[in-house]
Amino acid sequence: MEILPASDFADVSRKPNLTTLAHMSTDKVVYVCQWGWWAVSVLACLLMMVIASVGAVLRRGLHGPDILGYVSSMTRDSPYVRLPPGGSALDGTERAWLLRHLQVQLRDVHEGRDIGRLAFASLEGGQKPFVAGRKYE
Protein backbone atom coordinates (compact mmCIF):
# COMPACT_ATOMS: atom_id res chain seq x y z
CA MET A 1 0.00 0.00 0.00
CA GLU A 2 1.32 3.37 -0.96
CA ILE A 3 1.14 6.21 1.52
CA LEU A 4 0.52 9.58 -0.04
CA PRO A 5 2.12 12.65 1.41
CA ALA A 6 -0.14 15.26 3.05
CA SER A 7 0.84 17.81 0.41
CA ASP A 8 -0.96 15.73 -2.24
CA PHE A 9 -4.26 16.10 -0.41
CA ALA A 10 -3.95 19.87 -0.30
CA ASP A 11 -3.91 20.00 -4.11
CA VAL A 12 -7.59 20.17 -5.14
CA SER A 13 -6.90 19.28 -8.72
CA ARG A 14 -5.75 15.84 -7.69
CA LYS A 15 -8.38 13.89 -5.79
CA PRO A 16 -7.70 10.53 -4.26
CA ASN A 17 -9.42 7.56 -5.79
CA LEU A 18 -11.24 5.84 -2.95
CA THR A 19 -13.10 2.65 -3.83
CA THR A 20 -15.40 0.34 -1.94
CA LEU A 21 -17.45 -2.77 -2.60
CA ALA A 22 -21.11 -2.10 -3.37
CA HIS A 23 -24.13 -3.81 -4.82
CA MET A 24 -26.25 -1.74 -7.21
CA SER A 25 -29.80 -2.54 -8.23
CA THR A 26 -32.38 -0.73 -10.36
CA ASP A 27 -36.07 -0.99 -9.54
CA LYS A 28 -38.42 -1.40 -12.44
CA VAL A 29 -42.13 -0.64 -12.19
CA VAL A 30 -44.17 -3.15 -14.13
CA TYR A 31 -47.87 -2.52 -14.73
CA VAL A 32 -50.01 -5.55 -15.34
CA CYS A 33 -53.44 -5.30 -16.92
CA GLN A 34 -56.05 -7.82 -15.90
CA TRP A 35 -58.19 -7.95 -19.02
CA GLY A 36 -61.39 -8.90 -17.23
CA TRP A 37 -61.32 -5.77 -15.04
CA TRP A 38 -60.28 -3.65 -18.02
CA ALA A 39 -63.33 -4.87 -19.95
CA VAL A 40 -65.61 -4.12 -16.98
CA SER A 41 -64.15 -0.62 -16.73
CA VAL A 42 -64.60 0.09 -20.44
CA LEU A 43 -68.20 -1.18 -20.39
CA ALA A 44 -69.01 0.91 -17.33
CA CYS A 45 -67.55 4.03 -18.97
CA LEU A 46 -69.50 3.39 -22.17
CA LEU A 47 -72.72 2.84 -20.23
CA MET A 48 -72.25 6.09 -18.29
CA MET A 49 -71.57 7.97 -21.52
CA VAL A 50 -74.74 6.58 -23.13
CA ILE A 51 -76.83 7.46 -20.07
CA ALA A 52 -75.41 11.00 -19.96
CA SER A 53 -76.14 11.42 -23.67
CA VAL A 54 -79.74 10.22 -23.26
CA GLY A 55 -80.15 12.62 -20.33
CA ALA A 56 -78.86 15.52 -22.43
CA VAL A 57 -81.25 14.66 -25.27
CA LEU A 58 -84.23 14.37 -22.90
CA ARG A 59 -83.33 17.64 -21.17
CA ARG A 60 -83.60 19.48 -24.50
CA GLY A 61 -87.27 18.50 -24.60
CA LEU A 62 -88.07 20.22 -21.28
CA HIS A 63 -90.10 23.40 -21.54
CA GLY A 64 -90.22 24.34 -17.87
CA PRO A 65 -87.73 24.77 -15.06
CA ASP A 66 -86.27 21.69 -13.41
CA ILE A 67 -87.24 22.44 -9.81
CA LEU A 68 -88.97 19.26 -8.69
CA GLY A 69 -86.35 17.99 -6.23
CA TYR A 70 -88.40 17.52 -3.06
CA VAL A 71 -91.96 18.07 -4.22
CA SER A 72 -93.59 17.78 -0.80
CA SER A 73 -91.54 20.70 0.55
CA MET A 74 -92.75 22.93 -2.31
CA THR A 75 -96.33 22.64 -1.06
CA ARG A 76 -95.45 24.22 2.30
CA ASP A 77 -97.36 27.50 2.79
CA SER A 78 -98.37 27.68 -0.87
CA PRO A 79 -101.66 29.50 -1.48
CA TYR A 80 -102.21 27.42 -4.62
CA VAL A 81 -102.17 24.01 -2.92
CA ARG A 82 -105.01 22.94 -0.64
CA LEU A 83 -103.51 21.07 2.32
CA PRO A 84 -105.17 18.96 4.97
CA PRO A 85 -105.14 20.38 8.52
CA GLY A 86 -101.70 20.28 10.16
CA GLY A 87 -99.93 19.76 6.84
CA SER A 88 -97.55 22.69 7.15
CA ALA A 89 -96.17 21.56 10.52
CA LEU A 90 -94.99 18.12 9.41
CA ASP A 91 -91.45 17.07 8.57
CA GLY A 92 -90.50 15.94 5.05
CA THR A 93 -91.25 12.22 5.35
CA GLU A 94 -94.59 12.64 7.13
CA ARG A 95 -95.56 15.40 4.71
CA ALA A 96 -94.73 13.25 1.65
CA TRP A 97 -96.79 10.36 3.08
CA LEU A 98 -99.76 12.66 3.81
CA LEU A 99 -99.68 14.20 0.31
CA ARG A 100 -98.96 10.99 -1.62
CA HIS A 101 -102.24 11.19 -3.58
CA LEU A 102 -102.17 14.94 -4.25
CA GLN A 103 -101.74 15.78 -7.94
CA VAL A 104 -99.70 18.91 -8.56
CA GLN A 105 -98.37 20.79 -11.57
CA LEU A 106 -96.42 23.93 -12.47
CA ARG A 107 -99.19 26.34 -13.38
CA ASP A 108 -99.54 29.92 -14.60
CA VAL A 109 -101.12 31.85 -11.72
CA HIS A 110 -101.09 35.19 -13.63
CA GLU A 111 -102.63 33.98 -16.85
CA GLY A 112 -104.49 37.26 -17.57
CA ARG A 113 -101.28 39.38 -17.56
CA ASP A 114 -98.70 39.93 -20.28
CA ILE A 115 -96.00 38.18 -18.25
CA GLY A 116 -97.14 35.09 -16.42
CA ARG A 117 -95.96 33.64 -13.16
CA LEU A 118 -95.24 29.97 -12.53
CA ALA A 119 -96.27 28.48 -9.23
CA PHE A 120 -96.55 25.03 -7.78
CA ALA A 121 -100.32 24.39 -7.69
CA SER A 122 -102.73 21.51 -7.29
CA LEU A 123 -104.85 20.43 -10.23
CA GLU A 124 -108.03 21.47 -8.39
CA GLY A 125 -107.23 25.17 -8.82
CA GLY A 126 -108.51 27.10 -11.82
CA GLN A 127 -105.06 27.95 -13.22
CA LYS A 128 -103.88 26.77 -16.61
CA PRO A 129 -100.64 24.85 -17.16
CA PHE A 130 -97.70 26.89 -18.42
CA VAL A 131 -97.28 27.37 -22.16
CA ALA A 132 -93.94 26.99 -23.95
CA GLY A 133 -92.87 30.31 -25.47
CA ARG A 134 -94.75 32.57 -23.04
CA LYS A 135 -92.74 34.89 -20.81
CA TYR A 136 -92.78 34.21 -17.09
CA GLU A 137 -91.31 36.07 -14.16
Residue 61 placed within a domain: yes
Identify the pLDDT of residue 53. 94
Is 25 a domain residue? no
> Is pLDDT of 113 > 90?
no
Query: Per the structure, how many domains does the chain have?
Result: 1
Task: Give residue 55's domain range.
Answer: 35-129
Model pLDDT, residue 44 = 98
Torsion of CA 121, 126, 129, 133, to 10 degrees: -120
Q: What is the pLDDT of residue 34?
A: 93
- pLDDT by residue (tens digit) across 119-136? 777 777 667 777 777 787
Residue 110 resides in a domain? yes
Query: Is 14 part of any domain?
Result: no
C-alpha Rg value of the chain to the nearest Å: 38
CB atoms closer than 10 angstroms to residue 71? 14
8 or 84: which carries more pLDDT confidence?
84
Q: What's the pLDDT at 9?
A: 54
Write the pLDDT tens digit of every residue in 12-66.
566 667 788 888 889 999 999 999 999 999 999 999 999 999 988 888 877 665 5
Cα separation, 33 vs 14, in Å, equals 53
Question: Would residue 11 count as lying in a domain?
Answer: no
Query: How confident is the model at residue 58, as a pLDDT?
Result: 85
In a domain, 3, yes or no: no
Q: What is the pLDDT of residue 15?
A: 65
120 in any annotated domain: yes
In a domain, 82, yes or no: yes
